[in-house]
């Protein structure tokens, strides 16, 4: 049975977060996520009130060909939670057209081999495995409260194995002085691996400049509400 993926959206933009921020990237956002964070910013991938009426189905070869047409530096596989799908055929198809695959995952599911970059963004609703944390090139902690980074550091046993642990304000808290101050103070107090982060593509509206992108669907802390 040939592999077919449910696709929420594809678009050309630039990476707005992390070590590769600012680089030309093609995004493939797959449908589906069982984690269900109440501040999810991609609710159209799973939230019953926001999933599209019709979801595109595409083969790995079709997605790789579409990505290659845009000539990106790399392709970001995201979701939803992309690792609920078997990503090996997609990673192989991207490699066949010369495109490195970067992954954004919560780290609770198996991560395929062959990726050029792995970003693990842990979620309390389904915490990451120790294997995922050790294979991460960078970790992105979503800071939803001033003690979020302390809680995550305690949850992983006090240490991180990668060189970059980004502290991102949860987007609906980006103006919350206590959250921002907690990030600043942690970086000033501890230095590496902690880095202050931001979702730079959002103020630019970089992703929505491509007509293939869906309108943003942030839950902002309450999944029962619309937007």
**Residues found near ligand SF4 in the complex (CB under 6 A):** 33, 35-37, 40, 42, 45, 79-81, 106, 123
Q: Distance between CA atoms of 125 and 107, rounded to whole angstroms? A: 12
Q: Which is nearer to ligand SF4, 123 or 168 (CB)?
A: 123
| Nearest distance, CB of residue 3 and ligand SF4, angstroms | 21
| Nearest distance, CB of residue 82 and ligand SF4, angstroms | 9
Output the CA torsion sign for 169, 106, 100, 72: negative
- Bin 196: left if φ > 0, else alpha if -120 < ψ < 50, else beta: beta
Q: Distance between CA atoms of 120 and 202, rounded to whole angstroms? A: 20
Q: Which is nearer to ligand SF4, 1 or 80 (CB)?
A: 80
- Tokens coding 3: 């592999």
Q: Distance between CA atoms of 213 and 208, rounded to whole angstroms? A: 5
Planar angle of CA 210, 198, 45, nearest 5 degrees? 50
Three-state secondary structure call for residue 44: helix
Q: Which is nearer to ligand SF4, 24 or 174 (CB)?
A: 174
Q: Which of 100, 99, 121 is nearest to 109 (CA)?
A: 121
Q: Which is nearer to ligand SF4, 104 or 137 (CB)?
A: 104
Q: Which is nearer to ligand SF4, 31 or 93 (CB)?
A: 31
| Nearest distance, CB of residue 121 and ligand SF4, angstroms | 7
| Nearest distance, CB of residue 85 and ligand SF4, angstroms | 13
- Tell me the residue length of the chain: 227
| Nearest distance, CB of residue 186 and ligand SF4, angstroms | 22
When CB distances to ligand SF4 are compared, the closest residue is 40
């Amino acid at each position: 049975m040939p592999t077919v993926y449910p696709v929420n959206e594809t678009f050309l933009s630039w990476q707005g977060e992390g070590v590769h921020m600012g680089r030309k990237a093609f995004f493939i956002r797959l449908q589906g996520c069982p984690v269900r964070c109440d501040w999810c910013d991609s609710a159209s991938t799973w939230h019953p009130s926001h999933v599209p009426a019709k979801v595109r189905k595409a083969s790995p070869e079709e997605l790789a060909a579409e990505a290659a047409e845009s000539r990106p530096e790399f392709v970001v596989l995201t979701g939803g939670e992309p690792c609920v799908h078997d990503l090996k055929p997609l990673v192989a198809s991207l490699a066949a057209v010369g495109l490195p695959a970067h992954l954004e995952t919560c780290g609770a599911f198996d991560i395929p081999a062959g990726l050029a970059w792995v970003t693990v963004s842990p979620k309390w609703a389904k915490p990451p495995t120790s294997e995922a944390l050790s294979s991460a090139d960078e970790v992105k902690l979503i800071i939803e409260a001033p003690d979020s980074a302390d809680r995550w550091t305690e949850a992983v046993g006090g240490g991180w194995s990668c060189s970059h642990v980004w502290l991102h304000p949860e987007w609906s808290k980006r103006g919350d002085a206590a959250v921002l101050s907690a990030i600043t103070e942690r970086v000033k107090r501890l230095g590496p691996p902690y880095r202050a982060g931001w979702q730079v593509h959002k103020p630019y509206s970089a992703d929505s400049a491509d007509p293939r992108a869906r309108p943003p669907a942030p839950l902002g802390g309450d999944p029962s509400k619309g937007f």
